């Protein structure tokens, strides 16, 4: 199954929350409505912060490294994403 950020639905329907690369409805909503993330709330060892790329989890390094018959890209925003290869494009017929 392929996950495509362009297919996320916002309040205006499909693609309504995609304003530009790296901006999405989920992040905007969390930042606007939360009194927790990005508001200076600290724990013993860290401050609670959230970024646009947190909508996706990182791909485990083991999954990327042990895949010898293809290329698995890391999700943008996580270590290893700088080595991503451009995906092949398949034309619709």
Q: pTM of this prediction?
A: 0.52
Helix (H) or strand (E) holding 10: strand 9-10
Domain extents in the chain: 25-83
Please determine, for residue 87, whether its predicted confidence score (pLDDT) is greater than 60: yes
Per-chain mean pLDDT for the chain: 75
pLDDT at 60: 92
Is the per-residue pLDDT at 22 higher than 70?
A: no
Q: Which residues contact 75 (CB under 8 A, 6 or more apart)?
A: 53, 56, 57, 58, 59, 81
**Do 61 and 80 touch, CB atoms closer than 8 A?**
yes
Identify which of 76, 44, 40, 42 has the alpha carbon closest to the alpha carbon of residue 57: 76
CB 30 within 8 A of CB 39: no
């Amino acid at each position: 199954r392929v996950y495509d950020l362009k297919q996320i639905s916002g309040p205006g329907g499909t693609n309504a929350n995609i304003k530009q690369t790296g901006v999405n409805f989920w992040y905007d909503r969390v930042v606007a409505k939360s009194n927790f993330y990005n508001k200076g709330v600290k724990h013993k060892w860290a401050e609670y912060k959230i970024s646009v790329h947190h909508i996706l989890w990182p791909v485990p390094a083991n999954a990327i490294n042990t895949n010898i018959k293809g290329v698995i890209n890391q999700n943008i925003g996580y270590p290893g994403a700088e080595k991503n290869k451009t995906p092949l494009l398949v034309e619709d017929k």
